[in-house]
């Protein structure tokens, strides 16, 4: 018996030791006992980090939707698979059973086929958090089409860049979306994006807000009439273990987002196994992850992981602040949520509004609380623990990435003693290493360094779509024979890990990974701007907020800084989305640069955090006097 369900700390160590002593045989056992295969694998694992090439369960044949839906029909056809909670608390929740999910996915899959989508084709999904989003993701997987979900808060340029990069033939969207008291014109954004996407042949539109929209003849169709006509049975496409399942974009240090490619079998096995253990999910539990399916958290821990376990997974369309800041707790009470998984930024936003709204609701159903997306600070951790968990629910601070596909460092509830701000120990099968600047592994405890992983795990991304060289350069070139995460971490006296943050130029704002480069590109489009540099600074709600340093072009005439600031934020909103707007803007006469012309963001970061005495070595700067000027500006503003 593989230990599919870990029950205590001793068992964790025992299973962990087994999993790292022989990873292939460990994962083989898990795969064998808990999934449905059309054909067994010939080889569990082959890998070479120098290429890099990683293959899990090679030779196996399967379909992930058979594992997420069909195989549960016999034993739990009437169990709720997806519990949809709408934006408006007065609109009734919708319970979609496993049987209904099967029918809806089959119908949707048949519609995709009827519009020419075949195995391997890319389908871009730009939908709000409504059932059609989960259903369409599964429909793609059922017929072997590669889904690429783009978060429906991204701008039209961000959308078109992604559509063009993965060469999607089809876009799935809705007329609009609800967001608290507002509506968003999604179809309008798609129309704008598609002006730059000649490869898109068809757009299927779900009706959500009943708005007047433009339907382009020969390209756009309403989804519902097609679904009504579609057959309710659709055979699964038999996929190879390493066939692509999806592409999901994540920002990088250049302007171009990285299309992380995940494949089928390993991703399924790892997300299912982590879901079961990290949330200690039991039959009849109601599990809720508040993320959007547009992020990896939603892919792995709203859709695939929970459904592969036959769980009930909640999908929430709305926002934590509507109609008031008690909405999350109202939903917990209403649906008797047992596991609640959210981001530190949400916890901080809610904590800001005191404890009255949390105390108003009965949260006694809760058993496990989760955190993901960024380091959870001590204060937020305690607020979450005291007021939401009432000191009775373990908090799982789960560290992982779009690239890792599943949770990597985390406590196992009721087993691992938790410690505020620590993600604690590696999950089963995960072998972390801390590295120093010289490429040497740092052994022992009470040390810090750069976080790497030494051995492949089943759900790791296999490549960057269309750019394998960039995959190699970004993740496998910094340290020999290791996957480099881009994060820094420390290991305490008992071996617990605490993630300290990104060591590169990606800033995490409200749990969203934003690259500095595309934001700077947007700012630089302003006709008065010469140059810009973006850094993050600590913010009590968002975790980090963005601060921009801008130099203006020397035109002889003076510009109104307030106007330029407004225009710059508008450009950012148009090009990337409102999430990337700058909280602070300073107009400076020069940026701190190295002699080779590289902007030293490290210095700007320190100044923005008011750590004026920790600027480190400034001798490599081209013009050290700009540092004093910037310091004075920021100090005067504080």
Cα dist from 142 to 33, 66, 233, 329, whole Å: 22, 8, 11, 35
374 counts as binding ligand 7RM under rule CB under 6 A = yes
Q: Is residue 505 at the binding interface for ligand 7RM, with CB under 6 A as the rule?
A: no
Size of residue set near ligand 7RM by CB under 6 A: 24
250 binds ligand 7RM (CB under 6 A): yes
Using CB under 6 A as the binding rule, whether residue 395 contacts ligand 7RM is answered as no
Other beta carbons less than 10 A from residue 515's beta carbon: 24
H or E, element range at 315: strand 312-316
Within 10 A of 207 (CB to CB), how many other CB atoms are there?
Answer: 15
Complex with ligand 7RM: residue 161 or 297, whichever CB lies closer:
297
CB of 100 to ligand 7RM, least distance (A): 29
- For the bound state, the minimum distance from the C-beta of residue 488 to ligand 7RM, rounded and expressed in Å, comes to 9
Rule CB under 6 A: is residue 274 a binding residue for ligand 7RM?
no
Rounded to a whole number, what is the largest CA-CA distance in the chain? 77
- Using CB under 6 A, which of the segments 293-301, 329-337, 534-542, 544-552 binds ligand 7RM? 293-301
Half-sphere exposure of residue 300: CA atoms within 13 angstroms, side-chain side: 35
Q: Is residue 243 part of the contact set for ligand 7RM (CB under 6 A)?
A: no
Choices 207-215, 309-317, 495-503, 528-536 (CB under 6 A): range interacting with ligand 7RM = 495-503
- The interface region with ligand 7RM, picked from 44-52, 131-139, 499-507, 569-577 by CB under 6 A, is 499-507
d(CA 41, CA 263): 15
* Number of other CB atoms surrounding residue 208 within 10 Å: 21
Query: Which one of residues 397, 505, 520, 567 is an interface residue with ligand 7RM (CB under 6 A)?
Result: 397
- The answer to whether residue 297 forms part of the interface with ligand 7RM (CB under 6 A) is yes
Query: Residue 2 or 463: which CB sits closer to ligand 7RM?
Result: 463
Q: Kind and range of the H or E element at 96?
A: strand 94-97
Angle at 316 between CA 311 and CA 322, to 5 degrees: 150
Q: Distance between CA atoms of 106 and 236, rounded to whole angstroms?
A: 9
**Nearest partner of 330 among 299, 285, 372, 288, judged by Cα:** 288
CA 340 to chain CA centroid, Å, is: 17
Instruction: Report which secondary-structure segment, H or E, holds 561.
Output: helix 561-575
Per CB under 6 A, the list member of 502, 542, 581, 601 interacting with ligand 7RM is: 502
Quick check: 396 binds ligand 7RM (CB under 6 A)?
no
User: Given candidates 499, 545, 564, 580, which one binds ligand 7RM under the rule CB under 6 A?
Assistant: 499
Nearer to ligand 7RM, 103 or 300 (CB): 300
Is 401 among the residues that bind ligand 7RM (CB under 6 A)?
yes
Least distance in angstroms from the C-beta of 577 to ligand 7RM: 15
Q: Does 372 interact with ligand 7RM (rule: CB under 6 A)? A: yes
Q: Is 65 in the site for ligand 7RM (CB under 6 A)?
A: no
Contacting range for ligand 7RM; rule: CB under 6 A; set: 151-159, 238-246, 263-271, 367-375? 367-375
H helices, E strands: number in the chain: 21, 31
Distance (Å, rounded) from C-alpha 495 to C-alpha 539? 29
Q: Which stretch binds ligand 7RM (CB under 6 A): 36-44, 289-297, 462-470, 603-611?
A: 289-297
Q: Is residue 368 near ligand 7RM by the rule CB under 6 A?
A: no
Q: Which residue, chain included where needed, has tokens 């391997």?
A: 120
**Separation CA 8–CA 328 (nearest Å):** 30
150 binds ligand 7RM (CB under 6 A): no
**What letters, b where the CB count within 10 A reaches 16 and e where it falls short, cover 376-407?**
bbeebbebbbebbbeeebbbbbbbbbbbbbbb
Minimum CB–partner distance for residue 422 and ligand 7RM (Å): 9
Question: Which residues fall within 8 angstroms of residue 315, CB to CB, at 6 or more apart?
Answer: 82, 83, 84, 85, 129, 130, 131, 133, 134, 293, 302
- Indicate the residue among 110 and 485 with the shorter CB distance to ligand 7RM: 485
Q: Rule CB under 6 A: is residue 534 a binding residue for ligand 7RM?
A: no
Residues 6+ apart with CB under 8 A from 386: none
* Tokens 């290493």 found at: 433
Q: How far is the CB of 541 from ligand 7RM (least distance, A)?
A: 17
Which is nearer to ligand 7RM, 260 or 588 (by Cβ)?
260
Sheet of strand 432-435: strand arrangement: 441-442, 432-435, 447-453, 483-491, 497-502
| CB of residue 399 to ligand 7RM, shortest distance in Å | 4
Shortest CB 594 distance to ligand 7RM, Å: 25
We find the least distance from the C-beta atom of residue 607 to ligand 7RM, in angstroms, to be: 22
Scan residues 463-492 and list those touching ligand 7RM (CB under 6 A): 485-487
| Paired tokens of 158 | 């961000």
Report if residue 399 touches ligand 7RM, rule: CB under 6 A.
yes
Task: Determine, following the binding rule CB under 6 A, whether residue 303 of this chain makes contact with ligand 7RM.
Answer: no
* CA atoms of 326 and 359, how far apart (whole Å): 9
Cβ–Cβ under 8 Å, residues 94 and 209: no
Our finding on whether 56 is near ligand 7RM (CB under 6 A) is no
Using CB under 6 A as the binding rule, whether residue 292 contacts ligand 7RM is answered as no
Within positions 413 to 452, which residues make up the interface with ligand 7RM, using CB under 6 A? 423
- Residue (of 157, 182, 159) closest to 172 by Cα position: 159
Stretch of 13-21, 194-202, 395-403, 608-616 contacting ligand 7RM, by CB under 6 A: 395-403
Q: Tokens standing for 587?
A: 């107009």
Name the nearest CA neighbour of 433 among 493, 485, 357, 471.
Answer: 485
Measured from the CB atom, the residue of 84 and 422 that comes closer to ligand 7RM is 422
Say if CB 463 and CB 471 are below 8 A apart. yes
**Using the rule CB under 6 A, is 459 a contact of ligand 7RM?**
no
Determine which residue in the list 56, 384, 400, 465 makes contact with ligand 7RM, applying CB under 6 A: 400
Q: Which is nearer to ligand 7RM, 69 or 508 (CB)?
A: 508
Does residue 165 interact with ligand 7RM by CB under 6 A? no
Contacting positions for ligand 7RM (CB under 6 A): 250, 295-297, 371-375, 397-402, 423, 485-487, 499, 501-502, 508, 513
């Amino acid at each position: 018996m593989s230990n599919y369900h870990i029950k205590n700390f001793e068992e964790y160590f025992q299973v962990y030791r087994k999993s790292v002593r022989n990873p292939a045989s460990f994962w083989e056992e898990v795969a064998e006992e808990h999934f449905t295969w059309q054909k067994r694998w010939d080889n569990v694992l082959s890998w070479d980090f120098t290429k890099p090439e990683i293959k899990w369960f090679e030779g196996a044949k399967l379909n992930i939707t058979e594992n997420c839906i069909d195989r549960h029909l016999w034993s739990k056809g009437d169990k709720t698979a997806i519990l949809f909670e709408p934006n408006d608390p007065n609109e009734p929740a919708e319970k979609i059973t496993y049987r209904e999910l099967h029918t809806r996915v089959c119908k949707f899959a048949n519609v995709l086929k009827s519009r020419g989508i075949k195995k391997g084709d890319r389908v871009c999904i730009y939908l709000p958090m409504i059932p059609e989003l989960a259903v369409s993701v599964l429909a793609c997987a059922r017929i072997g089409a590669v889904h690429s979900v783009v978060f429906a808060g991204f701008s039209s340029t961000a959308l078109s860049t992604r559509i063009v990069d993965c060469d999607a033939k089809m876009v799935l969207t809705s007329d609009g979306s609800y967001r608290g008291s507002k509506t968003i014109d999604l179809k309008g954004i798609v129309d704008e994006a598609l002006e730059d996407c000649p490869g898109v042949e068809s757009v299927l539109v779900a009706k959500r807000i009943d708005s007047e929209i433009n339907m382009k003849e020969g390209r756009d169709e309403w989804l519902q009439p097609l679904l009504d006509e579609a057959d309710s049975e659709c055979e699964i496409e038999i996929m190879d273990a390493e066939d692509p399942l999806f592409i999901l974009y994540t920002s990088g240090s250049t302007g171009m987002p990285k299309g992380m490619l995940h494949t089928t079998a390993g991703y399924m096995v790892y997300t299912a196994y982590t879901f079961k253990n990290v949330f200690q999910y039991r039959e009849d539990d109601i599990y809720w992850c508040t993320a959007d399916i547009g992020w990896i958290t939603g892919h792995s821990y709203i859709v695939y992981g929970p459904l592969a376990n036959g769980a009930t997974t909640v999908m929430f369309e709305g926002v934590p602040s509507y109609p008031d800041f008690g909405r999350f707790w109202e939903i917990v009470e209403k649906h008797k949520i047992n596991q609640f998984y959210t981001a530190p930024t949400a916890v901080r936003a809610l904590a800001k509004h005191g404890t009255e709204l949390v105390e108003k609701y009965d949260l006694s159903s809760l058993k496990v609380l989760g955190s993901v997306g960024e380091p959870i600070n001590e204060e937020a951790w305690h607020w979450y623990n005291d007021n939401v968990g009432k000191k009775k629910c373990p908090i799982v601070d789960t560290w992982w990435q779009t690239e890792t596909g599943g949770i990597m460092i985390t406590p196992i509830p009721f087993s691992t003693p938790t410690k505020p701000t620590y993600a604690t120990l590696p999950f089963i099968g995960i072998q972390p290493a801390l590295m120093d600047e010289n490429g040497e592994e740092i052994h022992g405890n009470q040390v810090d360094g750069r976080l790497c992983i030494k051995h492949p795990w089943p759900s790791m991304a296999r490549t960057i779509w269309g750019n394998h060289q960039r995959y190699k350069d970004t993740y496998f070139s910094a340290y020999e024979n290791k996957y480099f995460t881009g994060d820094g971490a420390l290991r305490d006296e008992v071996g617990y890990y605490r993630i300290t943050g990104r060591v590169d130029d990606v800033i995490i704002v409200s749990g969203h990974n934003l690259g500095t480069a595309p934001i700077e590109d947007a700012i630089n489009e302003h006709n008065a701007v010469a140059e810009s540099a973006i850094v993050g600074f600590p913010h009590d709600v968002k975790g980090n907020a963005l601060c921009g340093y801008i130099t203006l072009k020397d035109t002889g005439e003076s510009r109104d800084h307030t106007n330029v600031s407004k225009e710059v934020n508008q450009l950012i909103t148009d090009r990337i989305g409102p999430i990337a707007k700058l909280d602070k803007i300073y107009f400076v006469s020069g940026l701190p640069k190295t002699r080779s012309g590289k902007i030293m963001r490290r210095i700007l970061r320190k100044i923005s955090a008011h750590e004026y005495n920790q600027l480190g070595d400034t001798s490599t700067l081209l013009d050290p006097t700009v540092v004093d000027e910037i310091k004075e500006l920021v100090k005067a503003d504080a």
